[in-house]
Structures are given as structure tokens and as C-alpha cells.
Chain A
Amino acid sequence: MADRVIVTIGTRKGVFVAEGARPRRRFELRGPFGPGIPVYATLIDTRGAPRIYASSCSPFFGMKLLRSNNLGKSFTETKSAPAFPKDDGRALANIWSLEAGKNRREILCGVEPASLFRSRDNGNSWAMVPGISNHEHARKWEPGGGGLCLHTIVRDGQRWHLAISTGGHYLSEDGGETFQAANTGVGAGFAPDPYPEFGQCVHKIARHDDAPGRLYMQNHGGWTHWSGPGGPRPDIGVLRSDDYGRSWRSIARGLPSDFGFPIVVHPQDADTVYVVPLEPETRTCPGGAPAVWRSENGGGSWRRLAQGFPRKRSYFTVLRDAMDIDRARTPALYMGTTTGQLWIGREGGEQWDCLFDSLPPIHNVKVAIA
């Protein structure tokens, strides 16, 4: 029986790995690996013998992928990293997402500029996935604040959901061969046309196996006071789809802000979903008081979870991949901040404690029981 909780922490200065026993009372910290180099994506691949992958994207020396075969005790570079064909004209600027593919050795990788790559040999060689990377919209996407990134890959059999900032949500129903923009109901608050075919700044998408067809989205909200063409655009930031992502509707009512980055679904309950609302102007905790918000009815209503967080003077940001939830019967959430704190939300987020308080700024947090 798997009895170790492994948490990968991708930071501005390398990747750390925290390991604890199932009670999750104490964690040992290892790292940094790839020291000094930003890490935006990690993957704990528990298919077969566990492997940990971490991007390592140096502004000096380019893109690397690190792999650990010993639960993060050491890492080595894979034989190659994703790279555009020489005649493509694009050059890789960052690696934003890593996800397990269909087969045990298959890895998917979303990058900046927004494109998708696939490895069939545990990350040692890579090929571009042309259906999205050369999509007819691809040269029309614009970069968001973090860059033009393909940051989310959600696989559901032959159905693949990708999120691009700012490109929107793209859906494949043939295993990644072809993709269509699927953004009906997804607002773009920063554009004259509030509901374009594509070009939305989607921040994150999540789903649960028990609710086929349902998806949750954290979109770029915060447009309640927009005074440009089309008028205010409230509540476009937190959305739900019940038709495999073809159309979306708001579930933001009741939140203090519809701006945020991560969105996470409870491992045993498809109706329970978590977000971290942020002030849209500063992208920090509303009122300086951090809180995670939880809905237990699929977004119908929300409850503030703040037990253990500072009550004031706390202004961090939680980035799109910096929150995850383990798969224990009573799960814990793990949340990293741009101020270098790793928080654990025990009892499904009821009680928060800071595990590590002085790490580098955190981009990415993933957890697995291995």
C-alpha cells in the first residue's frame, strides 16, 4: 500500500520535493534540484514505478526536462527537451505543463509560445503535436501576463481539453489529432467583443472522472467595473460546463472576487471544488486576508476557508499551478505562494498550516501518494 505523500514544489530557483508519511503531520524537504533555474511545471507520474518530471527553463541556456526515478532524491536531464522544428520559426521560451499521456511512457508537454509536444519514451525524445501547435488560430493568439502559454492539459480518453492564455479553451475528441475552439460562454473582459470565438485568457481547467462532461474553469475575471464597449462583465471568472466544454456558465456568485488562478476538484466528490479568489487589480489576497473558497454543490454556493491563515497584512499571489489536492479519503490541499510559503489545508481545507515559509517564489505544486 502506498504510504508516502510526495509534493513537488516548482519555484523560481529550482524544484524542491517534500515527503511525508500518510498522516501528513511532518514533511522532509529535499532540493533545490536544477538550482537557480525557474521551474513552472512538474509531474508525479505514478503509472508503474513512480517518476517525477520537472521543467528547468533557463533564460541563459534554454529548456531542459529533469527526471527522477527515486521520488525526488536526485534528478537527471532527459536526453532532450521539446523543441520546435528548425524551419518552424518559433523558439521555446518556457515549459508550462506536463501531463501523463495515454500509454505508460507517454508524456504531454505544453509550452510557450503556446504549443503542445508529446514524448513516447519518458521524455527522452519529443514531437510537436500539430493539431494545436499549427492550428489556424495559433498565430493569432496573444500573450497574457505570463506569456503566450499552453498551461493546462486535461485528458479524458480521446477527449483532450487544452487551455491557452490567451487563446482560450480548445477541445479535441480524437485523441489530439484535431482541435476546435470551445469557448461559448467564456468571457474575454479585456476585448471589445466580450465573447469571441477564441482569445480568452483561461487560467485553469479541472474535471472529475465521476462527472463525465462536467468541467470547472478559472477564467480571467475581475471585469465587473469595465466601462469600455459592451459595459460591465461581472462573474465571467469562475465557470462550469456540463457538456464536455462546449458551453460554459458562471458559478462565480458568492465569491469575493471572480479573479484567481488555480481551480481544484475534490478527489472523491465531483461537486466539491476549490478556488483562491484574488483582487483583480493587485492579484493578491482580498483585504490582505488569505482564504481558499470551497463549493460543495458544484458552484451553487461558496464557503470561505481561512482557519490558520493570517487574518491581515498578507498579500501573496497563488499562481495557476500552485495548488493541488491529494487523493486520501479525507484529502489535504497544498498551496504555494509567490512569497515562498507552502501551506497544507488539512481536512479538505478546514485547517491551514504553513509547512515551509521561506522557499523561493512558488510557481507549481503537485502532490501524489506513492
Chain B
Amino acid sequence: MVTVYVPSQLRKYCRGATRFPIAADTVQSALGVLEREHAALYRNLCDETGALRGHLNVFVNADHMRDLDGIDTTLAPGDEVTIVPAVSGG
């Protein structure tokens, strides 16, 4: 199991949970689990084509997934997957 951390803005889409465990071996498969089991949350993370929204960052433990293997980054039991909205806007 890995742990997904949810940003404060999106906790209302998963009954207030700050984090929850899921079974996934890549970031891609983690998103697939969210699509099936937490559809309301998933729609905030990915658009209709399945692409991760442009202003969201996904960290695996302390590393941004773009510095690893992107959406194909592998996950090991005990990993922490953190969703962080970009610090941007005006």
C-alpha cells in the first residue's frame, strides 16, 4: 500500500480525508485507483483525456515525479504520494 496526501482544497471531495491508503505500483495506476474509487476527487486532478491538470504537482516521497519517471514512476509499499497545487496565479 502507498499513502496519498490530499491538498486542503480537495478534501471535500473525499469526505474530509487528509490522506488515505491505496494499492498501486505506479503513479499512473494510483490515478486509476482514484478514478475508480474516488471519482469526484479524480475529476479535480485529471481532465477528460486523463491528463494530469497543468497546475498540479505530484511528489513521490520528496521527489517531484517529473524528476523521476513522470506518470510511470514506480511506487513501493510505504511510499507517500503528495498532490501539491502550484504556487501560481494572481
- What does the 1/0 interface line of A77-113 toward B look like (CB < 8 Å)? 0000001111011111000000000000000000000
A93 to chain B, nearest CB (A): 9
Chain A residue nearest to B85 in the complex (CB): A60
Q: Which residues of A contact B85 (CB under 8 A)?
A: 60-61
Q: Is B55 an interface residue (CB 8 A)?
A: yes
In the complex the two chains form, what is the Cα distance from A91 to B45 in whole Å? Answer: 13
Q: Does B89 contact A (CB under 8 A)?
A: yes
| In the complex, per-residue mask of B55-83: 1 if CB is within 8 Å of any chain A CB, else 0 | 11000000000000000000000000000
Contact with B along A43-76 (1 / 0, CB 8 A): 0000000000000000111100000000000000
Complexed CA–CA distance, A209 and B41 (Å): 44
Of B10, B48, B50, B51, the most chain A CB neighbours within 10 A belong to B48
For A84, the chain B residues whose CB sits under 8 A away are 48
Is B89's CB under 8 angstroms from A59's CB? Answer: yes
A289 to B45, CA, bound (A): 45
Instruction: Decide if B48 touches A61 in the complex (CB within 8 Å).
Output: no
CB-based contact B55/A86 at 8 Å: no
Q: Are B54 and A59 in contact (CB under 8 A)?
A: yes
Q: Kindly identify which residue among B48, B53, B56 contacts A86, using a CB–CB cutoff of 8 Å.
A: B48
Q: Which residues of A contact B47 (CB under 8 A)?
A: 62, 91-92
Which residue of chain B has the shortest Cβ distance to A86 in the bound complex? B48
Query: What separation, in Å, do the CA atoms of A86 and B56 have in the docked complex?
Result: 20
Contact residues in A for B86 (Cβ distance below 8 Å)? 60
Bound form: Cα–Cα A61–B56 in Å: 8
How far does the alpha carbon of A91 sit from the alpha carbon of B44 in the complex, in Å?
Answer: 13
Q: How many residues of A contact B (CB 8 A)?
A: 13
Partner of A92, one of B45, B48, B50, B55: B48
Given that A59-B89, A60-B85, A62-B43 are contacting pairs, would A83 and B55 also be in contact in the complex, using a CB cutoff of 8 Å? no
A89 to B47, alpha carbons, bound, how many Å?
10
Judge whether B48 and A90 touch: CB under 8 Å. yes
Query: In the complex, A62→B13 CA distance in Å?
Result: 13
CB of A13 to closest CB in B, whole Å: 10
Contacts of A88 in B (CB 8 A): 48
Give the chain B neighbours of A83 by CB distance below 8 A.
Answer: 43, 48
Q: What is the bound-complex CA distance between A61 and B52, given in angstroms?
A: 10
Contact, CB under 8 Å: B43 / A91: no
Determine if B9 and A61 form an interchain contact, defined as CB atoms under 8 angstroms apart: yes
- Kindly provide the distance from the CB of A339 to the nearest chain B CB, expressed in whole angstroms: 15
Give the shortest distance, in Å, between B61 (CB) and chain A (any CB). Answer: 23
Closest residue on chain A to residue B54 by CB atoms: A59
| CB atoms of A62 and B44 under 8 A apart | yes
Query: Which residues of B sit under 8 angstroms from A90, Cβ to Cβ?
Result: 48-49
Q: Are A61 and B89 in contact (CB under 8 A)?
A: no
Residues of A within 8 A of B10 (CB): 61
A85 to B48, Cβ gap below 8 A? yes
Q: Are B53 and A60 in contact (CB under 8 A)?
A: yes
Chain A residue at minimal CB-CB distance from B51: A91
Considering the chains assembled together, what is the distance between the CA atoms of A340 and B85 in angstroms?
27
Q: Please, which residue of chain A has its CB at the minimum distance from the CB of B50?
A: A86
Spell out A's residues near B (CB within 8 Å).
Answer: 59-62, 83-86, 88-92
A59-B55, A62-B47 are known; give 10 further A-B pairs, CB within 8 A. Answer: A59-B54, A60-B86, A61-B9, A61-B85, A62-B44, A62-B53, A86-B49, A90-B48, A91-B47, A91-B49
27 contacting pairs across A/B (C-beta < 8 A): A59-B89, A60-B9, A60-B53, A60-B55, A60-B56, A60-B86, A61-B9, A61-B10, A61-B44, A61-B45, A61-B85, A62-B43, A62-B44, A83-B43, A83-B48, A84-B48, A85-B48, A86-B48, A86-B49, A86-B50, A88-B48, A90-B49, A91-B47, A91-B48, A91-B49, A91-B51, A92-B48
Q: Which 10 A-B pairs have the closest CB atoms?
A: A91-B47, A61-B44, A60-B55, A84-B48, A83-B48, A60-B85, A91-B48, A91-B49, A59-B55, A62-B44
